[in-house]
Amino acid sequence: MRILFPTFLGALVAPGEVQAQLFLEDKAAYTCNSAMNYTCETESFFGFANSHSGFRSPSFSRVRGKRGVLAGDSCLAGQLTDSGVKMLLNTGIQLSDIYGTALGLPYIPKKPEVMFRSTDVPRVYESAAALAWGMFPGLTDADPADVMDITVVDERSDSMKPSDTVCPGLEEALDEFYESAEAKNRAEWGASLREIIGKTTGYTPIYLTNDPKQMYNLYTFPTECWVAHACPTVPSSPKTVPPEFDEDHMRSIQREAAYWVNDRYSSSRKLQRLAYGPFIEDLLEDLREGRRRLSVYMGHDFGPANSVMDPLRLTWMDSGNRCASTLPPFGAMLIMEIYTDRKVRFIYNGRVASVEAIKECRGK
């Protein structure tokens, strides 16, 4: 048996294109200072200026004690929280319980049997530390030799998310998409929804556009704030989204965000090849390593899991819904189980998925 995890998580990281050998931080570094509150003053947190919810962004009891925050009353957008660390630690423990014996995982993860790869983003490598502690308890010992190897590629060369520096033709292909009837019609269709967003956030002038090129930012910026209001792993208050965004509106916003962040790459086979091809090539190269037992890829809501789910059209077998129809939540995990009898099973967020892009695999 062999396992690949293309995930929306994090990993230990170092700059450059070579594998890095890093010591894990002391768990005490993740102690939450509950006496301190922080309010994010970033463009991501619009504050809902015209909402009846309090006219402000959420406040946060953040996060990681010594090194988790900026000086003063500010915090980092996308910063890892103490509850998020605990969630990842528990996930690692569960993965070890499920797969540790079957894979014959070592006490300390070593290449080539175990491979971890991460993007070069702080919250991602902090997440990896928590996941690794859960999967490999030996990493928490005091022995300084107990380290793990992490492969980290420079951002301009990293294939784990669609990138025009990795595949130069991607930018031109996206420009063609933005000029297409599909993109223009989709942008016009969402005009009334964006009008509501603009009025509630106090950013009406920004949202009075149907330019397809602007849609990515128009949906992703406020989405981050809504997640901060509602996500159970974010220690923020209030815990409800503004009343102007009821369940139907939130569902529509999430659908549009998924389309303009990820689904735009599905508009043509050309875009799929340019956006996902480089990572698929890396994944195939990984599969050729016969000694590998476990591969963990850690990234973001726009990759690498979507680079697998989208072209394979992974669909949950219990509901028939596309796995990539919404943006992945924090801690989302796509598991690819490869068996000695050459069978493969995909599990996304705990639910078995069918490969609809391959006729022989549909519904199996």
Of the candidates 48, 38, 44, 92, the residue with the CA atom closest to the CA atom of residue 69: 38
- Structural domain includes residue 245: yes
Domain that holds residue 98: 2-29+81-162+269-361
Statement to judge: residues 11 and 103 lie in one domain: yes
Q: Which residue has the tokens 């010591």?
A: 23
**Nearby residues of 188 by Cβ (< 8 Å), 6 or more positions away:** 210
pLDDT at residue 43, as a whole number = 39
Statement to judge: residues 55 and 120 lie in one domain: no
The pair of structure tokens assigned to 130 is: 């928590």
Of 265, 290, 307, which closes a domain?
A: 265
- Structural domain includes residue 175: no
By the 10 Å C-beta count (0-12 exposed, 13-18 middle, 19+ buried), 228 is classed as buried
- Structural domain includes residue 171: no
pLDDT at residue 253, as a whole number = 87
Cβ atoms of 85 and 93 within 8 Å: the answer is: no
Quick one: the chain helix, strand, coil %, rounded to 5?
40, 15, 45
Statement to judge: residues 255 and 335 lie in one domain: no
- Structural domain includes residue 344: yes
Statement to judge: residues 140 and 13 lie in one domain: yes
Statement to judge: residues 260 and 342 lie in one domain: no
pLDDT at residue 8, as a whole number = 44
Number of domains in the chain: 2
Statement to judge: residues 256 and 114 lie in one domain: no
Please state the pTM of the whole predicted model: 0.79
User: How confident is the model over 11-58, as pLDDT tens digits?
Assistant: 222 222 222 222 223 333 333 334 444 444 433 344 555 555 554 444
Of 265, 288, 321, which closes a domain?
A: 265
Cα Rg of the chain, angstroms: 21
- Structural domain includes residue 172: no
What pairing do the DSSP bridges indicate for beta strands 236-237 and 59-60? antiparallel
Q: Which residues of 106-118 are buried (b: 16+ CB within 10 A; e: fewer)?
A: eebbeeeebbbbb
Statement to judge: residues 69 and 194 lie in one domain: yes
Of 238, 265, 292, which closes a domain?
A: 265
Cβ neighbours, 10 Å, residue 89 = 20
Statement to judge: residues 279 and 345 lie in one domain: yes
Query: Alpha helix locations (H) across the chain?
Result: 82-103, 122-135, 169-178, 181-189, 191-201, 204-207, 215-230, 247-261, 269-287, 305-312
d(CA 151, CA 110): 12
d(CA 114, CA 187): 44
Q: Give the CATH number, domain containing residue 8.
A: 3.40.50.1240
End-to-end CA distance of the chain: 19
Of the candidates 23, 127, 118, 117, the residue with the CA atom closest to the CA atom of residue 85: 127
Statement to judge: residues 256 and 279 lie in one domain: no
- Structural domain includes residue 169: no
The pair of structure tokens assigned to 7 is: 């995930």
pLDDT tens digits, the chain, 364 residues: what are they? 666 665 543 222 222 222 222 222 333 333 333 444 444 443 334 455 555 555 444 444 444 444 444 444 445 556 666 677 788 888 999 999 999 888 888 888 888 888 888 888 777 877 777 788 889 888 876 665 567 777 778 888 889 999 999 999 999 999 999 999 999 999 999 999 999 888 887 788 889 999 999 999 898 877 766 766 666 666 666 666 777 777 788 888 888 999 999 999 999 999 999 999 999 999 999 989 989 999 999 888 888 889 999 999 999 999 999 998 888 877 788 999 988 888 889 999 889 999 999 988 888 7
Statement to judge: residues 105 and 15 lie in one domain: yes
Statement to judge: residues 113 and 258 lie in one domain: no
Statement to judge: residues 141 and 249 lie in one domain: no
- Structural domain includes residue 174: no
pLDDT at residue 141, as a whole number = 66
